[in-house]
C-alpha cells in the first residue's frame, strides 16, 4: 500500500543515452508506413544521414515519434499539483522520449484560476529554459474547468471547481500561457458555452466536447459553433445511461467531430474500440494516453489529486471505493499496439492514429518532420511481435538527436 502525496515521493528513472558522443553507428530498419528499407547514420548522438537501403534489419521497424494530445503527468511527475515546477515539465518530456513519444500537449485539468495559472507558468518557463522541451510541447490542452458538475460526466475532476465558461478568465490564462493553449475540452450544455466556443474557434483554438451530459441540441449547437473533437469518447460519462438517445451516440454519429480514444483495455472494451473506429472511420480518430502521474509506477494505492486512487497490475487507475476511472496509466505506444489487437487494423494504420492524425487535428504537420532532414528527424525504432501485439521501443530520435537508446539495440 502506498500513500504518496506528490511527485517527490514517486520514483523517476532518467532515460539512459548509451551511444551519444561515442562510436558512430548505422541503424537500419523498415519504414512502418511503406516498408521501405532505411539506414540512419548516427555520429556523436546526432543523425548525419537518412537514406534508402537495399535491405535492412528485418527485426527492426521505423516510425515517426508519437504525438500525444493528452498527458496530465508521467512517471511520478504531475502537471496538476500546486507545486509543479518547470523541471517537472522537462522530466515528463524526457520520460516520454523513453517510450517513443516525441511531441505532446501537456494537459491542465479543472482547478481554481490560480492553480491552473501556476501549471501554465511552469509549462511556459520549461519551454523558455529548454529549446527541446519547447519543440516537444506542440500546444497546451486545457481540459475543464468548464465541464459538467454531475457525477459520472465529471469523472475525477473536482466538483467545486467545475463552472460555466468565462472568456475573461480564459484570456488571462492564454496570456499567462503566451498563446500556447491550442486545445480546450468543455461541456457544451454549460451556460454561455456556445458563444465561448465561437470565440475559441475565432482565436485558432481546437474545441473538444468532453466530460459532458449534453443533449442532442447542445451537441449540434457546439458543432455549428465550430467544435471539432470529442475528448476520450465513451469516457467522462455516467456509469449507466439511457440506451438511446444519449450523448455518446450523438457524438459518434456526428461526422463533423473527430474522436480521441484511450485504448488501454479499461476505458473502452475491445469491441467498443472496434465499433467506434469503424463508425468514425480512421480519418476521424486519434489515439491519446490520458496518462496521469501514476503512469509507469508500481501498482498500489496512492494519494493522488487529493483522492485515494488504486493503480492495478493491469495499469488501471480508479478512485478507491468507486467504479470511476481516474485517468490512464499507459503510454501512447500501448494504445498503438492495442488498436491493432482490438480493432483489427494494420500496424501502419495504428501508428497513423498516433502521429499523422493528431498532427492534422492541430494543424502542425509542417512543424513536425519525420524523415525529411537529418537534423530535424523525429523517429522511433522498435520491434513488433505479431504473436502478442507487443511493441518494444529500442531508440528514439528527437529533432535529429538520439535521446534514448535501449541496451538491446
How far is residue 398's CA from residue 396's CA, in Å, rounded to a whole number?
6
At 312 the three-state DSSP class reads: coil
Confidence of residue 80 (pLDDT cuts 50, 70, 90): very high
Mean pLDDT value across residues 208-237: 98
In the DSSP assignment, the letter for residue 291 is: B
Higher pLDDT, 153 or 327: 153
| Mean pLDDT, the chain, whole residue set | 93
End-to-end CA distance of the chain: 36
Strand stretches in 137-274, DSSP E: 140-143, 181-186, 206-209, 229-230, 258-262
Supply the pLDDT for residue 144.
98
Q: pTM of whole model > 0.85?
A: yes
Domain spans, the chain = 7-11+64-362, 25-61+373-405
Mean pLDDT value across residues 243-251: 97
At 116 the three-state DSSP class reads: helix
CATH architecture assignment, domain 7-11+64-362: Alpha-Beta Barrel (3.20)
Cell of 282: 480512421
pLDDT at 357 over 90: yes
Supply the pLDDT for residue 6.
43
Amino acid at each position: 500500500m502506498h500513500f504518496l502525496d506528490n511527485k517527490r515521493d514517486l520514483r523517476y528513472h532518467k532515460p539512459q543515452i548509451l551511444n551519444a558522443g561515442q562510436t558512430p553507428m548505422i541503424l537500419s530498419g523498415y519504414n512502418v508506413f511503406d516498408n521501405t528499407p532505411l539506414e540512419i547514420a548516427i555520429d556523436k548522438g546526432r543523425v548525419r544521414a537518412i537514406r534508402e537501403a537495399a535491405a535492412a534489419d528485418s527485426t527492426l521497424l521505423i516510425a515517426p515519434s508519437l504525438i500525444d494530445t493528452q498527458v496530465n503527468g508521467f512517471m511520478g511527475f504531475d502537471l496538476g499539483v500546486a507545486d509543479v515546477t518547470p523541471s517537472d515539465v522537462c522530466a515528463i518530456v524526457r520520460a516520454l522520449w523513453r517510450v517513443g513519444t516525441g511531441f505532446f500537449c501537456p494537459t491542465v485539468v479543472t482547478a481554481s484560476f490560480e492553480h491552473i495559472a501556476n501549471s501554465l507558468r511552469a509549462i511556459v518557463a520549461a519551454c523558455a529554459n529548454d529549446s527541446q522541451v519547447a519543440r516537444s510541447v506542440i500546444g497546451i490542452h486545457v481540459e475543464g474547468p468548464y465541464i459538467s458538475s454531475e457525477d459520472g460526466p465529471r469523472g475525477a475532476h473536482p466538483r467545486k471547481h467545475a463552472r460555466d465558461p468565462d472568456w475573461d478568465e480564459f484570456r488571462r490564462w492564454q496570456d499567462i500561457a503566451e498563446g500556447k493553449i491550442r486545445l480546450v475540452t468543455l461541456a457544451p450544455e454549460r451556460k454561455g458555452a456556445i458563444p465561448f466556443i465561437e470565440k475559441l474557434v475565432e482565436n485558432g483554438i481546437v474545441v473538444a466536447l468532453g466530460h459532458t451530459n449534453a443533449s442532442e441540441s447542445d451537441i449540434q449547437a457546439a458543432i455549428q459553433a465550430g467544435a471539432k473533437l470529442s475528448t476520450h469518447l465513451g469516457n467522462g460519462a455516467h456509469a449507466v445511461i439511457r440506451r438511446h438517445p444519449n450523448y455518446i451516440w450523438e457524438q459518434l454519429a456526428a461526422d463533423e467531430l473527430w474522436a480521441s480514444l484511450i485504448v488501454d483495455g479499461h476505458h473502452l472494451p475491445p469491441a467498443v474500440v472496434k465499433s467506434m473506429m469503424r463508425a468514425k472511420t480512421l480519418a476521424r480518430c486519434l489515439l491519446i494516453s490520458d496518462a496521469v502521474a501514476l503512469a509507469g509506477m508500481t501498482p498500489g494505492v496512492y494519494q493522488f489529486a487529493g483522492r485515494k486512487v488504486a493503480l492495478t497490475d493491469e495499469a488501471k487507475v480508479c478512485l478507491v471505493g468507486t467504479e470511476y476511472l481516474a485517468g490512464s496509466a499507459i503510454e501512447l505506444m500501448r494504445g498503438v499496439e492495442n488498436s491493432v489487437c482490438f480493432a483489427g487494423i494494420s500496424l501502419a494504420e495504428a501508428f497513423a492514429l498516433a502521429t499523422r492524425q493528431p498532427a492534422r487535428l492541430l494543424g502542425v504537420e509542417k512543424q513536425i518532420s519525420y524523415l525529411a532532414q537529418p537534423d530535424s528527424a523525429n523517429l522511433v525504432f522498435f520491434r513488433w511481435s505479431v504473436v502478442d501485439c507487443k511493441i518494444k521501443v529500442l531508440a528514439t530520435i528527437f529533432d535529429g538527436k538520439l535521446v534514448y537508446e535501449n541496451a538491446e539495440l
